[in-house]
Structure 1
Amino acid sequence: MKRFFYILFLSFLFIGTSLQGQSRKELENRRKKLNKEIKKINTLLSETNKEKTDALDDLKDLSQKITVRERLIETIELESEELSKEIKQNEKKIEKNNLELAKLKTDYGAMVFKSYKSKSQQSKTMFLLSSENFLQAYKRIKYIEQYKNFRKKQGQRVITKTEEIKRLNDSLTKKKNQKKVLLNTEKNQKKKIENEKEEQETLVTKIKTQESKYKKQLQKKIREEKAVAKKIDKAIRAAIAKANKGKKGKAKKGEFLLSKAEKALKANFEQNKGYLPWPLDGVITRKFGVQPHPTFRSITINSTGLHIRGKKGDTAKSIFNGKILTITKSEKGTKTVMIQHGDYITTYSNLREIYVKKGQAVKTGDAVGKVFTDKITGKTDLVFVLFKNRNRLNPSDWIRAN
């Protein structure tokens, strides 16, 4: 258990280091994004029957909340640091501009006084009439005009500088208020995370006292997931063989023979890598791949795809144009829809109702079925898996970043 939290700490440290080079605007956008994620997590991970959920699930959900909140606090701290730098820069600019304004005012005052003194001693007319020749008179006229324009420009510089200082002062006040809001937000988030960590410790203690029970429950779930994955693999093998039947050419074992239209669909699917929509608007509660269980590190989980938590009544949607390849049913009665996109297959498991039929053409965003909501726990989880022929891929590489 200690090792688990140590690994989490190292991951937070790595995330913090990677955030250092980001601008304040990037950090601000990241903070807004994390706030939305926390709001979604609080809604979806709390939408369960607290009396019936087991401690393992609760601990996993709570750890996910804490992880995101830690990232938010880290982002707020970095954004606050950037604001502090900007405030200092503003203060230096204001100080420099105030000195320049003082000098401008002094110079302008001396110029006005000199002009007034010159007028009392000798009028412009006498200044021109005392010229020795026409050329000298012309030069004196030009001098008077240039002096007048220079004086006007100096006056304008005083006004411009005064306005610039006002703008800087307004900006400084705004930045200080932003920092104040950020610090209050950070304070509130730290308070929430303290409460969540206390709850986390309580759950850890509960699990330790009944470790044998929870391990048996976990291993049972793993066996059930393996059985579902095996059934899907078998259905895909059969579907590929059936799809290839009667087509010209020779395919490699376990691979589709593609028509011209299917090749074009495949290419289009690949071009959209990283930009495909989510099959369900929710929160990822388990990532793809082989990974140690977050609580029992000695137990390994092979996650065939993404586990996405939604809300009751949510529907799974096709992430791309394709054709319903096949539909299977589990021993528990939940269903899996498989959609072919060229030689790619997306599978949508843990569905209660199905809105499509085998062989039907579907488009991006079409509803394929309603996600099953567990009556005991109240959880609505979609298992989303991506294949290329029979090889599983990481769906996170293909769908849009949340």
Structure 2
Amino acid sequence: MSNKHQYISFLFLFLLIAPLSAQKTRKQLEADRKRLKKEIKKVNKLLFDTQKKEKNALEDLKDINQKIEVRQKLITTINLEAKSLTGEISGNEKKLKKLEEKLEALKKDYAAMIYKSYKSRSKQNRTMFILSSKNFYQAYKRVKYMNQYATFRKKQGEEVVIQSTIVQQLNDSLQFQKQLKDSLLANEEDEKLKIETDKKSQEKLISQIKKRENKYKRELRNKQKEEKKIADRIDKLIRDAIAKANAKKGVKISKGFALTPEAKALAVRFEQNKGKLPWPVDSGLITRRFGRQPHPVYKGNYINSTGIHITTEKGTNAESIFNGEVLAIQVQSEGKKSVLIRHGNYISVYNNLENVYVSAGDQVKTGQALGKIFTDRITGKTKLIFVLSKNTTRLNPASWILRR
């Protein structure tokens, strides 16, 4: 076989096996379904129920896209859960058939035993059976046999009752599973209808945006410039802090903080909590992911996100994700503020704050309130821009905080 054919065969086998290894149990799928339903409620509450001062088609499109994305995930999860239930129902039906066959055989054996016992039920017959023994030992064996037979008959009767109960329970379980599957399929159809309505709204918004393309592109460029300015200022602030801290220690390293034993221990604890760190808000929804992402309308345009955007409720405070020291407070445009917390050589940044409750140099604890998050009067949204880095290298915050 040629190398090319070997590679194709290997690739086919990998593609066949990979999905199987990633299969989830029905309990996991059920948990995913419940989580996604909660997420849809959050999307509606935080993105669609907010009081907007004026409409913005680009912003509204972003929101509707998020809603569609979550709903599509929900439909996929429901479908997988229904398929898993189909497998369970099929397996249980086979089990039920075998159990019913076993029960039928037990009932026949028990009936034959009862009939035999009925024929020899009189005390006279039992007495004669014992007295007709050739010797005492045979009489003893016959008495013992009769006692064993009575015990066995009793056990057989109990086994019939047990198997009947198991069959009934499995029957009840099957009925429940079938009802659950019907409910899931009805839920799936309902979600499909909702997604169709959302897609119609999506098409209308795209049409509106295209009509005023120059205006929205200009707004997009201005917003991206402003975000880049903020990111550059924070990057410079971190570089300066590293240079200043290292100069005090007489260290020439410029790429990262020269750590004291205490700071190193703090950084190690921070690393050990990767994926388990608390969210910087009590309750919220990630409305923009980390990294470079294509624009939903304008092909060739990309959104470069230095962190994650978390939309939350009005009046919510930003909270420290770990113990640390306030590295700096920075004032951005329109008076909005950023708080930088140092955790050894890790820095967590909380952007878009209306006011702050801490000062540079303060020691903070996990969950401590740092400041109130700004609520935009135009969009009505309260959004925290959360950034995480190791020295000057940006990290994806979603990989470090708990999955909700």
Same fold (TM over 0.5): yes
Task: Please give the per-residue CA displacement for 1:291-335, whole angstroms capped at 9, x wherever unaligned.
Answer: 222221311222111111111111111001000011111122100
| 1:72-151 matched pairs, under 5 angstroms | 72-119=74-121, 123-151=125-153
Contact (CA 8 Å) 1:251, 1:257: kept in 2 or not? no
RMSD: 1.8
- Distance in 2, matches of 1:51 and 1:336, equals 25
**1:230 CA drift (Å):** 1.4
- Distance in 2, matches of 1:387 and 1:104, equals 69
Residue of structure 2 equivalent to 1:272? 273
Residue of structure 1 equivalent to 2:237? 235
**1:223 CA drift (Å):** 0.7
- Distance in 2, matches of 1:310 and 1:304, equals 19
Contact (CA 8 Å) 2:246, 2:253: kept in 1 or not? no
Change (3 A) 1:234 1:192: same
Specify which of 365, 386, 389 is matched with residue 388 of structure 2: 386
- Distance in 1, matches of 2:64 and 2:322, equals 33
- Distance in 1, matches of 2:223 and 2:278, equals 29
Provide the secondary structure at the position in 2 that maps to 1:385.
Answer: strand
Specify which of 59, 68, 71 is matched with residue 70 of structure 2: 68
Provide the secondary structure at the position in 2 that maps to 1:27.
Answer: helix
Task: Please give the per-residue CA displacement for 1:262-289, whole angstroms capped at 9, x wherever unaligned.
Answer: 1111111111111111112311111111
- Distance in 2, matches of 1:364 and 1:66, equals 34
| 1:2-401 matched pairs, under 5 angstroms | 21-50=23-52, 52-119=54-121, 123-247=125-249, 249-280=250-281, 281-401=283-403
- Distance in 2, matches of 1:207 and 1:17, equals 39
What code does the residue aligned with 1:400 have? L
- Distance in 1, matches of 2:121 and 2:255, equals 102
Change (3 A) 1:45 1:304: same
- Distance in 2, matches of 1:31 and 1:310, equals 22
Contact (CA 8 Å) 1:47, 1:379: kept in 2 or not? no
Task: Please give the per-residue CA displacement for 1:67-100, whole angstroms capped at 9, x wherever unaligned.
Answer: 1111111111111111122222222222222222
- Distance in 2, matches of 1:312 and 1:264, equals 36
Which sections of structure 1, spanning at least 5 residues, go unmatched?
A: 1-15
Identity of aligned residues (%): 53
Contact (CA 8 Å) 2:68, 2:195: kept in 1 or not? yes
- Distance in 2, matches of 1:264 and 1:178, equals 51
Contact (CA 8 Å) 1:353, 1:370: kept in 2 or not? yes
What code does the residue aligned with 2:176 have? K
Change (3 A) 1:400 1:18: farther
**1:20 CA drift (Å):** 6.6
Contact (CA 8 Å) 1:293, 1:300: kept in 2 or not? yes
Contact (CA 8 Å) 2:53, 2:377: kept in 1 or not? no
Task: Please give the per-residue CA displacement for 1:124-177, whole angstroms capped at 9, x wherever unaligned.
Answer: 111111111111111111111121111111111111111111111111121122
Task: Please give the per-residue CA displacement for 1:357-387, whole angstroms capped at 9, x wherever unaligned.
Answer: 1100001100111110011110111111112
- Distance in 2, matches of 1:348 and 1:48, equals 22
Provide the secondary structure at the position in 2 that maps to 1:45.
Answer: helix
Contact (CA 8 Å) 2:279, 2:321: kept in 1 or not? yes
Q: Across the two proteins, how many residue pairs are aligned to each other?
A: 386
Contact (CA 8 Å) 2:331, 2:338: kept in 1 or not? yes
**1:184 CA drift (Å):** 2.3
Contact (CA 8 Å) 2:53, 2:380: kept in 1 or not? no
Task: Please give the per-residue CA displacement for 1:16-53, whole angstroms capped at 9, x wherever unaligned.
Answer: 95897111111111111111111112211124344513
Contact (CA 8 Å) 1:19, 1:75: kept in 2 or not? no
Task: Please give the per-residue CA displacement for 1:155-208, whole angstroms capped at 9, x wherever unaligned.
Answer: 111111111111111111211221222122212211211111111111111111
**1:254 CA drift (Å):** 4.1
Change (3 A) 1:286 1:180: same
Provide the secondary structure at the position in 2 that maps to 1:368.
Answer: strand
Change (3 A) 1:54 1:64: same
Provide the secondary structure at the position in 1 that maps to 2:338.
Answer: strand
- Distance in 2, matches of 1:53 and 1:238, equals 41
- More displaced, 343-352 or 236-245? 236-245
| TM-score (ref. length: structure 1) | 0.92
Provide the secondary structure at the position in 2 that maps to 1:383.
Answer: strand
Contact (CA 8 Å) 1:47, 1:378: kept in 2 or not? no
Provide the secondary structure at the position in 1 that maps to 2:358.
Answer: coil
